[in-house]
Chain A
């Protein structure tokens, strides 16, 4: 720390002795220059080495205890931050995954409901266990009331869907007309009337055969009836969807 002192506080002593020395010992000039060069080389060397050391992180080996503690604390808080970030991202990922699952489940449920409603409404064909009833009416004595009875008895016995003489029965199906001129939903049908219903075949045929029931009425009218339960019947007549003209879905009170 002498250079600054030499330049500021005691510049006095130097000039005259220096000139004297210069004359007395000119050989010292190159020696001093060499010394200065060596010192500067040392400085450059140390500078380069230090820059390398800082750059390459190996400085940690010689760092002080308190510095190491500080670095460690920094790294730990950084690690904590990154950990919590990982947790957040994982939560988000799980949410997205479960959202995808529940969306798929909702789609599946909606599809199932749509199928059930379509079967009930008669917009798609259906198959399953059930029975086939054939009412042959050679003398045109079976009127629409008997067929209506049959439909209602079958429904009451748990038939899920059915068709009468090739016409699918839905919620708004109407059976009208006199014997020999029966119309179902405005479509004229002719004997023999074949009713196909899906449900528990045994229960359905029992419902047809109760005393005073459909079978009795058909026989009283002078026609014949043939009831055949089967493990597999197909209801393939379709009816257009009854689009509601006035009714709209009411808002869900839970919302």
Chain B
């Protein structure tokens, strides 16, 4: 499945549905999960940016996207969890955020080159 066949509609639709569900339901995050949620969100954002870049490079693979999305989230949360157990949770979550931030910037730069040819 080359991504263009499904179009950007499905992911965007999913995103919108998720955001409105989050706003409307307004669930409270379980206390044990609160340190991991922001990390998981950033990891998922990294996967999404990677997916967009792959789409523009015409090498998008749904399987790769799904696997990378889930593994990104799980590994990031695991690292932070491990850091919390070792007593360096704050530092490790900073490290994870920095690494993911750098990757997001790199992917965003690639997307920018595709979109604006600059």
Contacts and interface: CB of A to CB of B under 8 A. Distances in A.
Interface of A: 1-7, 11, 14-15, 18, 22, 28-29, 32-50, 52-54, 58-59, 61-64, 66-67
Contacts of A28: 1, 62
B11 A36 contact: yes
Contacts of B38: 50, 54
Contacts of A40: 10-15, 18, 48
Chain A interface helix/strand/loop/mixed: helix
Contacts of B63: 32
Given A1-B75, A6-B54, A44 B37 contact: no
Contacts of B47: 3
Given A28-B1, A47-B19, A39 B31 contact: no
Q: How extensive is the interface on chain B, given as a class? A: 35 or more
B35 interface: yes
27 contacts: A2-B72, A3-B51, A3-B53, A4-B103, A6-B54, A11-B57, A14-B61, A15-B59, A28-B1, A32-B63, A35-B66, A36-B10, A36-B14, A40-B18, A41-B17, A42-B44, A43-B48, A44-B14, A44-B16, A44-B21, A45-B21, A45-B22, A46-B18, A47-B19, A62-B29, A64-B84, A64-B90
A62 B32 contact: yes
B54 A3 contact: yes
Contacts of A61: 31, 34
Contacts, number: 173
Most chain B beta-carbon neighbours within 10 Å: one of A4, A18, A38, A41: A4
B65 A3 contact: yes
Interface string B36-53: 011011001111101101
Contact of B41 (A32, A50, A64): A50
Contacts of A48: 18-23
B59 A43 contact: no
Given A6-B64, A33-B62, A46-B41, 4 more contacts: A3-B72, A18-B2, A38-B14, A62-B29
B71 A47 contact: no
B117 to A, nearest CB: 18
Closest 7 CB pairs of A and B: A62-B34, A48-B22, A44-B18, A3-B50, A32-B62, A40-B14, A2-B68
B48 A7 contact: no
A67 B65 CA distance: 34
A241 B89 CA distance: 90
Contacts of B34: 53, 59, 61-63
Contacts of A6: 50, 54, 59, 61, 64, 68
Contacts of A52: 22-23, 26
